[in-house]
Amino acid sequence: MEWSTAVWTGGVAVAAAVYWFVWVMGAAEVKGKSAVDLKMGSISDDKVKDKYTQYWSFFRRPKETATNASSAEKVPAFVDTFYNLVTDIYEWGWGQSFHFSPSVPGRSHREATRLHEERVADLITARPGHRILDVGCGVGGPMRAIAAHSGSQVVGITINEYQVARARAHNKKAGLDSKCEVVCGNFLKMPFENASFDGAYSIEATCHAPHLEDVYAEVFRVLKPGALYVSYEWVTTPLYQAENPEHVETIQGIERGDALPGLRAEDDIASIAKSVGFEVVQEKDLALPPAGPWWTRLKMGRIAYWRNHLLVCVLTALRIAPKGVVEVHEMLYETARHLTNGGETGIFTPMHMILCRKPVKASEEEN
């Protein structure tokens, strides 16, 4: 082979590899993000690293954040910062549903996720004519699945403006913008009238609240009498031992890397729901057998991690992605390690399901 031909062939191969590696690799699904579209939400490129540093410093001691009143007031703003930092990375590698689901034999992750979301609609008996609330909707993956499955009108609330824009764009692309509405707001103080929803759900979202009773009280307020609410909660299980340093490291790693002001214990959830007036209909850890492991998606091999890490570094060097993306990617990888360990040891579950009902007589004092 002539030298010029070899050089030309090598150049084409390199160009093809770069095209695949940078422009193609990483689109989680047809309508998801690609690697070159990584942004940091509404944070300007020159502020990303500073915002990441502020976030990491704030959540360095999660339990103190939950118990300190002045820190607790700052949690919503830092949760907003967190989702500015991670939303595009989540969409790139995860898709439009920012939550876990039990693995299902013979089903893809995407199919298992859809089944997990449709279970929510069935639990709260959502149907055509119902107005359903999604508490912490993210970019709306569950919202669209539930609206399509149940025929209900679904209203989602998220504190992050960038996610609102992403969710609305996805709703339109899916042809579900007439069924799905997205509102920017804090689920600790929602902009909805009393008794204005026929049902509600939260999927791995209320873990961001410093005090769970504050979210549950708001959900209780906006539900109609007799309406159902289901939540998938992140909690420590009875296997967690506070005196075990490895257990503590795992749980704190999950808290720091996911903007959580302290995880709650599984045994506390029902009493919190009852304290705001709910009747507890059912409570179950959906991660327990016969459910398949939920953490399988996180067990990324070293080759896959370094491939993604190299891509992020290249994009940052080329200024396609802003400075700070590398640090955020490293944080999420480390958090995935803690989550995996939490699942394998059984000390943590992200899908403790609690189904509640607002009593029919509950609204008599409200009206």
State pLDDT tens for residues 270-291.
999 999 999 999 999 999 999 9
**Which whole-number Å values give the CA distances from 114 to 56, 149, 152, in the listed order?**
32, 10, 16
Q: What is the pLDDT of residue 271?
A: 98
Q: What is the pLDDT of residue 94?
A: 83
Taking residue 254's Cβ as centre, other Cβ atoms within 10 Å add up to 25
Give me the residues of the chain with pLDDT under 50, please. Answer: 12-14, 16, 20-31, 364, 367
Q: What is the pLDDT of residue 4?
A: 62
Q: What is the pLDDT of residue 251?
A: 97
Q: What is the pLDDT of residue 28?
A: 42
Taking residue 58's Cβ as centre, other Cβ atoms within 10 Å add up to 20
DSSP state of 190: -
Residue 294 φ then ψ, to 5°: -85, -15
Cis peptide, bond prior to residue 290, ω within 30 of zero: yes
3-class secondary structure, 101 = coil
**DSSP H helix total and E strand total for the chain:** 12, 8
